[in-house]
Chains A and B, each alone.
Chain A
């Protein structure tokens, strides 16, 4: 039974399952390989939740200890990495909730209203050529850190760590539509925050031309709707 999901797993996931089997059969060293392979992601998601290196370190350690002690409860329906990431996120969220000054953002406060874009200047065709690698890393990290909690978590899991929408929803313990809604807002906020660094510098002339085009488009769309198209 234990191996029933293996046919659908990618090679890296199969390696994880082999290591899990080794640990469960008493070879504790197998756990070190799992830690080495997944510590970067575990630390990254803990930091996404906590925004503080010391707290993220503690959450990461607790997550790995918990994963080791409860390894026999890993059911193998999900990938090992998703199971582990969920433990890490839960550890980090629990740690955050014990902070004295922590005020959780209720879903009702966040679901209302769409993020309305404010910046409409086109971005440069090769924005990454403007800055060095370290500078880009810093700019992106700062933008991520500026996102409100629930949007930062969704964005890091899906767009930074590359989990599927289903996996990210599973890790956060929310529905897929809720995940997608948070992700859309997170992406629009990220776009808005990074626009300053990556937009084409607009001249007064281009601003006037764009304003005229936008006004013309709005009129045309109203006429099309009125005509029943």
Chain B
């Protein structure tokens, strides 16, 4: 595989993070990243960003919102 430039590497960021793509592609990306500080930073910080997002406390439905949902569904279910 020919040498990739930063634009090609960036276009394959998701592919790399999601563990997709051929071994050849991943090797070419890794080779570029080992040489290019900027792409290394972008790849590393994107991985950290996704970890922060997935580790963040899950979003909860406010209790009052949930209560109104059950109340409406109660009516719908009893009418049907």
Residues in chain A within 8 A of chain B (CB atoms): 28, 31-32, 35, 39-40, 43-44, 47, 53, 57, 60-61, 64-65, 68-69, 114, 117, 120-123, 127-128, 133-134, 136-137, 140-141, 144, 159-160, 162, 165, 180, 183-184, 187-188, 190-191, 194-195, 198-199, 210, 213-214, 217, 220-221, 224-225, 229
In the complex, the answer to whether A136 meets B52 with C-beta atoms within 8 Å is yes
Please name all residues of chain A whose beta carbon is closer than 8 Å to the beta carbon of B37 when the two chains form the complex: 120, 210, 213-214, 217
Please name all residues of chain A whose beta carbon is closer than 8 Å to the beta carbon of B72 when the two chains form the complex: 61, 65
In the complex, the answer to whether B62 meets A53 with C-beta atoms within 8 Å is yes
| CA distance in complex: A222, B41 (Å) | 20
Chain B nearest Cβ from A147, distance in angstroms:
12
In the complex, the answer to whether B73 meets A64 with C-beta atoms within 8 Å is yes
| CA distance in complex: A117, B54 (Å) | 22
Please name all residues of chain B whose beta carbon is closer than 8 Å to the beta carbon of A214 when the two chains form the complex: 37-38
In the complex, the answer to whether B61 meets A127 with C-beta atoms within 8 Å is no
Our pick among A40, A60, A184, A191 for the contact of B45 (Cβ within 8 Å) is A191
In the complex, the answer to whether B13 meets A188 with C-beta atoms within 8 Å is yes
Let me know if B14 is at the binding interface, CB within 8 A.
yes
Please name all residues of chain B whose beta carbon is closer than 8 Å to the beta carbon of A191 when the two chains form the complex: 42, 45-46, 49
Please name all residues of chain A whose beta carbon is closer than 8 Å to the beta carbon of B17 when the two chains form the complex: 187
In the complex, the answer to whether B66 meets A117 with C-beta atoms within 8 Å is no
Please name all residues of chain B whose beta carbon is closer than 8 Å to the beta carbon of A140 when the two chains form the complex: 52-53, 56
Chain A nearest Cβ from B40, distance in angstroms:
8
User: Beta-carbon contacts of B33-44 to A below 8 Å, as 1s and 0s?
Assistant: 001111001101
Task: For chain B, residues 1 to 49, give those with C-beta under 8 angstroms from any C-beta of chain A.
Answer: 2-3, 5, 7, 10-11, 13-14, 17-18, 35-38, 41-42, 44-46, 48-49
Lowest 7 CB-CB distances: which A-B pairs, in order?
A123-B45, A140-B56, A137-B57, A43-B61, A28-B77, A184-B14, A191-B49
In the complex, the answer to whether B10 meets A117 with C-beta atoms within 8 Å is yes
| CA distance in complex: A137, B58 (Å) | 8
Please name all residues of chain B whose beta carbon is closer than 8 Å to the beta carbon of A188 when the two chains form the complex: 10, 13, 42, 46
Please name all residues of chain A whose beta carbon is closer than 8 Å to the beta carbon of B65 when the two chains form the complex: 43, 53, 57, 60
Please name all residues of chain A whose beta carbon is closer than 8 Å to the beta carbon of B77 when the two chains form the complex: 28, 31-32, 68
Please name all residues of chain B whose beta carbon is closer than 8 Å to the beta carbon of A39 when the two chains form the complex: 61, 66, 69
Given contacts A65-B72, A68-B73, A180-B14, 12 further A-B pairs with CB under 8 A are A40-B60, A57-B68, A117-B10, A117-B38, A128-B55, A137-B56, A160-B59, A187-B13, A188-B46, A195-B45, A210-B37, A221-B3
In the complex, the answer to whether B42 meets A120 with C-beta atoms within 8 Å is yes
- Nearest opposing residue in chain A for B14, CB measure: A184
Please name all residues of chain B whose beta carbon is closer than 8 Å to the beta carbon of A198 when the two chains form the complex: 45, 48-49, 52
In the complex, the answer to whether B42 meets A117 with C-beta atoms within 8 Å is yes
In the complex, the answer to whether B56 meets A187 with C-beta atoms within 8 Å is no
Chain B nearest Cβ from A74, distance in angstroms:
16
